[in-house]
Amino acid sequence: MDPAPTPKQREKLEAWLRYYDDLGLGVFYNDRRRAGERAAQSEPAAAIPIEAPPVSKPIPMSAPHAKPAPPSVLPVVSETSLFEAIDRVENDTIERIREDLGECTRCRLHKRRNKIVFGAGNPRAELVFVGEGPGHDEDVQGLPFVGRAGKLLTQMIEAMGLRRDDVYICNVVKCRPPENRKPEDDEVATCSPYLYRQLEVIAPKAIVCLGATAAQALLKTKDSISRYRGQWFDFRGTKLLVTYHPAYLLRNPNAKGDVWKDLQKVMTHLGLKAKKASQ
């Protein structure tokens, strides 16, 4: 007999089930569960995994892949693969994602937040920046990257020859972690489906992960940022590059040169020319 799920696994499973209900998939899930119960009466049922199968370690890519077209309808899949497919929704929009998120109470981060920080910018942007989570200023204003680190990010964007309104900016989690701590794994797992949907709808040409937390969430890795900073990866057919978080640059200004080199790779990919050769 397989061991019962741990409290942490149970909490993660319950978070996913609440997410299914929010998307109107409760009937789908319950129908499949009842079918499994009927089958159990005639033969032993295999245990349903709590989590999706582990994703292989990301491989740096040398050339972009063609972006796959989103499915016209949500495919009928097993509960195992449903965890990977659930974030693709038919006729999805940024507005619908925000509506589905609502005044979210799906994880513990809602208890101390002031405002949800959903994301901001061009919903058809060619470039998306993904950070870790809101800080104090973001929690107060409900907008991403508006504090000191946000001002530096604005300078980085302008150095690329763009404006903030040209790009889209969001975070892995949409509520501020207490004392700006790193989001816990279950908090990331609960919030990530909304981030995946945002990226699917925007369909950018490039994604820039700002810091290790964003990179680990999208690349499904626990490796240190030093292992993959400045390299291109594939994320669902979109080129993804990892660089340092602006908050890190405030503490370590000598790293600005490395970030500028990373951003120049993005500019080359997007066909951009810098307005100024600054770091």
pLDDT (tens digit per residue) in 135-160: 999 999 999 999 999 999 999 999 99
Helix (H) or strand (E) holding 168: strand 168-171
Work out how many domains the chain is built from and give that number. Answer: 1
Residue 218: burial class (beta carbons within 10 Å; 0-12, 13-18, 19+): buried
CA distance 109 to 112: 6
Q: Tell me how far apart the alpha carbons of residues 113 and 117 are, in angstroms, rounded to a whole number.
A: 10
Q: Examine residue 160 and state whether it is found in any structural domain, yes or no.
A: yes
Task: Assess whether pLDDT exceeds 60 at residue 18.
Answer: yes
* Residue recorded with tokens 């009928």: 76
Higher-scoring residue by pLDDT: 18, 179: 179
pLDDT in tens, 244-279: 999 999 999 999 999 999 999 999 999 998 775 444
* Strands in the chain per DSSP E: 120-121, 127-131, 168-171, 206-210, 232-235, 238-243
3-class secondary-structure state, position 220: coil
**pLDDT value, residue 63:** 43
Residue-wise pLDDT for 213-241, tens only, equals 999 999 999 999 999 999 999 999 999 99
62 assigned to some structural domain: no
Q: Are 33 and 25 in contact (CB under 8 A)?
A: no
* Residue 125 included in any domain: yes
Q: What proportion of the chain, given as a percentage, has pLDDT over 90?
A: 65
Q: Is this structure's pTM higher than 0.75?
A: no
By DSSP bridging, strand 168-171 and strand 120-121 are: antiparallel
CB count, 10 Å around CB of 48? 13
Residue 266: the pLDDT is 98
Residue 60 maps to a domain: no
Are the beta carbons of 9 and 51 closer than 8 angstroms?
A: yes
Tell me, yes or no, whether 35 lies in a domain: no
Burial label, 279 (beta-carbon count in 10 A; 0-12, 13-18, 19+): middle
Examine residue 205 and state whether it is found in any structural domain, yes or no: yes
Q: Which domain holds residue 227?
A: 87-270
211: domain CATH number is 3.40.470.10
Any domain includes 202? yes
pLDDT at 20: 55
Mean pLDDT of the chain: 81
Residue range 86-110: average pLDDT? 92
CA angle at 193 for the pair 227 and 3, rounded to the nearest 5°: 85
Residue 31 lies in a domain: no
